[in-house]
Amino acid sequence: ELLTECVWRMHKMNCCDIFIRRRSNMGICMAFNSIESSRGRLKQEMDSKWPWRVGTSGSKYGLQVRTLLNEDKHSPYSTSSKGITIMTVQPKVWSFTPIDIPKDVYARVYLNAFMSFF
């Protein structure tokens, strides 16, 4: 299990219900609020509020997730650093610059909304 203790807008959620497995330019990943996969598009057709949104800012109103790295399942010969990589993108965007978060770190990622016309 990689993702646990998922909370969305102060409500406990089953992580398997809100994350979708998909491909990215970095390999297989777990996506939240994505409509890039067939499962995400189906969810959008069935739920008029998908992808989900928040009405206000603050740590209580977004997504909270605890990650478990399961180091015993990593190769003992691997020299790469342990941690997770996150990409924050719009629901229809394929990928963006990743953020690496090392193991044993409590991290918060804050997002600001902006509108642009290009």
Whole-number Å distance between alpha carbons of 59 and 109: 9
Is the confidence at residue 114, as pLDDT, over 70?
no
Helix (H, G, I), strand (E, B) or coil at 18: helix
Higher pLDDT, 13 or 111: 13
For the segment 13-22, the average pLDDT, to the nearest whole number, is: 89
**Domain range summary for the chain, segments of one domain joined by +:** 3-102
Task: Report DSSP state, residue 46.
Answer: H
The tens digit of pLDDT for each residue in 66-104 reads 988 888 888 888 888 888 888 887 767 766 788 888 888
Q: DSSP states of 62-104 as a string?
A: SEEEEE---GGGS-TT--SPPEEEE----TT------EEEETT
> Average per-residue pLDDT in the chain?
83
The tens digit of pLDDT for each residue in 41-56 reads 888 899 888 888 887 8
Cis peptide bond upstream of 51, omega within 30: yes
pTM: 0.74
pLDDT of residue 7: 92
